[in-house]
Structure 1
Amino acid sequence: MQQDDARVLANVRRLWQGLASPTARFAAGRVAVVVNAGSMACPPGWIGVVEIDGSALAIVPDDDTAKRLAIDEESPRTVGTIEFLRSRIAIAEVLGPATLDYLLPGRFRPAEDVDVVVSKANDPAIEALLSKVEDDEASESGIFGITSPLFSIRERGRVLAVAGYRSWPLGVAHMTALTAPDARGTGLATALASTAVEHALDAGLLPQWRAGDNNPGSRAIARKLGFSAVGRQLSARPAVAEWPAPSAE
């Protein structure tokens, strides 16, 4: 591994440790259990598994959940599957699994230049695009809450695709892209995401790309731009047992 790559991976580990808990630490080749109901590495009260370069953090909301999962001796790859979690505990909702990709030094492969319009999130044309996709798809894309300029490609005033990024701790730029359903497969998202990535690099940030396993198109964009698969992420909401209704007696 090149020295620059090792430096980036160390920064990525620090990022996820900080999101998981102030005391969280990866253990080489193992699963480190983190008890923190308010972790930012997954929704509050959920179970979260973040694997980076062969080591994993397993975030749980309480000690009881940690005991029920009994994951200390499991491999990082095994713990990061919904099948494993469901074999140990009832799960009500799942986010992921998803691949965590990072643009390691010197790997960027820019796409061809396109005509890009810099927009604001409240632009009616952007809102029109969002109305064409499902709410969960728009949310998963990460288009809400970006801190960069919002880049868009338009045709006769209609927005076909948007891209940008949100600034994360430790100089990480979480990339986002969204394309209108009838414009997918045309390369627009790749070209536009390339513009956003270049903007992040010029700002001295480390681009991060998260793509769910159910979204191969997003993962393909990351590969085309030179991102490397560094880790995996999975979040799961434990099912809460319902207590029986009190007796009338």
Structure 2
Amino acid sequence: MTAPDDAVLRRVRNLWETVSGAAVTFPPPGSPAAVVTSSGSGLCPPGWVGIVALGRSAIVTAPDTAVARTLRQAFSTLPADALTCAGPVRSVLPVAEVLGPATLAYVTDDAFRPVPYEGGVERLSAEHPA
């Protein structure tokens, strides 16, 4: 029988693999990241590198084959959890800009317990202050 955490991890990995826009799967934990070319990746803005690390495993999307080749070489010695930290990535690549990391939490339907919220929703203006 599969543990609930394993089932959630499998579902979440499948989601991120689909969002990557490429034929990619998370490698076994502890393996080098799976790096693929995906100019239409949903993991990141166009032209950027997208990285998702889950359970000691990571997938990486690159905007073109040359960048993918560079990433495979650079990331071959870094553990998956280091790929979402700017310091270790900067130690192997010249990084111009970083968005994230984002920390997400996933839970099974039966374990989710919503917290009652009576407040309103704060709306932010799309305009930037001058």
TM-score range, shorter chain: 0.7 to 0.9
Opposite residue 16 of structure 1, the aligned amino acid is W
Residue pairs, 1:224-239, within 5 angstroms: none
Aligned identity (percent) is 37
Q: Does the Cα contact within 8 Å between 2:25 and 2:34 map onto a contact in 1?
A: yes
Aligned residue number for residue 57 of structure 2? 55
1:130 offset after TM fit, Å? Answer: 1.4
Cα–Cα, structure 1 residues 74 and 116, in superposed 2: closer, same or farther, change >3 Å? closer
Aligned residue number for residue 110 of structure 1? 114
- Asked if 1:3 is matched to 2:7, the reply is no
Cα–Cα, structure 1 residues 134 and 9, in superposed 2: closer, same or farther, change >3 Å? farther
Please list every run of 5 or more consecutive structure 1 residues that lacks an aligned counterpart in the other structure: 118-125, 136-249
- How high is the TM-score relative to the length of structure 1? 0.43
Which of 1 and 2 has greater Rg? 1
Bigger relative contact order (CA 8 A; separation at least 6): 1
Please list every run of 5 or more consecutive structure 2 residues that lacks an aligned counterpart in the other structure: none
Report the Cα distance in structure 2 between the residues aligned to 1:87 and 1:63, rounded to whole angstroms.
22
Aligned residue number for residue 12 of structure 2? 12
Aligned residue number for residue 41 of structure 1? 43
Q: Of 69, 72, 79, which residue of structure 2 is paired with 1:75?
A: 79
Report the Cα distance in structure 1 between the residues aligned to 2:56 and 2:22, rounded to whole angstroms.
21
Q: Does the Cα contact within 8 Å between 1:32 and 1:72 map onto a contact in 2?
A: no
Cα–Cα, structure 1 residues 115 and 76, in superposed 2: closer, same or farther, change >3 Å? closer
Q: Does the Cα contact within 8 Å between 2:21 and 2:38 map onto a contact in 1?
A: yes
Residue pairs, 1:78-93, within 5 angstroms: 78-93=82-97
Over residues 47-87 of structure 1, what are the superposed CA-to-partner deviations in whole Å (9 max), with x where a residue is unaligned? 11101122100111223223333113421012222123222
Cα–Cα, structure 1 residues 54 and 134, in superposed 2: closer, same or farther, change >3 Å? farther
Aligned residue number for residue 130 of structure 1? 124
Residue pairs, 1:133-152, within 5 angstroms: none
Report the Cα distance in structure 1 between the residues aligned to 2:67 and 2:41, rounded to whole angstroms.
15
Q: Does the Cα contact within 8 Å between 2:82 and 2:89 map onto a contact in 1?
A: no
Structure whose residues are more often strand by fraction: 1
Report the Cα distance in structure 1 between the residues aligned to 2:17 and 2:116, rounded to whole angstroms.
36
Opposite residue 24 of structure 2, the aligned amino acid is A
Opposite residue 111 of structure 2, the aligned amino acid is R
Q: Secondary structure at the match of 1:59?
A: strand
